[in-house]
Amino acid sequence: MTLTAEQERLKQAYIQARGYWTPWTEGLLRLSPTFLDLYARYGGHPAAHGPLAARMCELIYVALDASSTHLFETGLRLHMELALRHGATPAEVMDVLAMATAQGLGGTLTGIGILAEELAAADPSPAAPEAALTAEQADLRAAWLARFGEWPRHCDLLLRMDAAYFALMLELMAYAPPGGGLAETERTLIRIALDGCFTGLNPAALRLDIRRALAQGIAPPAILQVLQMTAHLGVHACTIGVPALMALVDRAAGG
């Protein structure tokens, strides 16, 4: 299809802003150039006005696309390539993937709190005072506080129920790949993305992550930019749907 002058302008503006052009954007340009223009302005606003560098933006998209709540392989490959192009190292990308793996703990920790509440509700006897932590448990609590600076109730419950599993959770959440990974502030921003994304929304963890980010001195505009970027996974309705629609349109046009 020969592009109009306006379509060519939209295409070049998109490539300049994003650094790529794909079959779904080509299809969207053909089907609905006005929506492509709207998405380009909507999706491009955080990068144009927020403080995060391109490298960090791409690492956030890697986390979102790799998340087990999304698993969008096409986008993951694209954003890993762009992250490396913008200066990220393989170790940093691996750090992001390890953090996405730890996202699975969200359901476990939420469920532990519910389990404790239901056990208490099922037992009519007065609650006994909590036993003092063992030396091993106290050391694990101190290690957690030194790393994360918060002691949520679910951590205390898990530590008392299964200290060995708690130790493994701490090791997983504190993991840094050999050769150097992300800075601690960057890891916090990645956690905000994983907990704030609508496909894996975890409000309790998100609140802790935002509180931690502010305590680390991360500026509110950077936090806002990450929260804005989490919404962009919604466009994957187009990345999947537009090529399928184009195939149907082309088939109908062919006869």
pLDDT 10s digits, 37-76:
999 999 999 999 999 999 999 999 999 999 999 999 999 9
Q: Which CATH superfamily is domain 50-247 in?
A: AhpD-like (1.20.1290.10)
pLDDT at position 117 is: 92
pLDDT at position 130 is: 86
What is the pTM assigned to this prediction?
0.92
Q: What is the mean pLDDT of residues 213-218?
A: 96
Task: Compute the chain's Rg from CA coordinates.
Answer: 22
Could you tell me which residues come within 8 angstroms of residue 222 by beta carbon, excluding any fewer than 6 positions away?
50, 51, 52, 189, 213
Picking from 66, 61, 55, the residue whose alpha carbon sits closest to that of residue 97 is 66
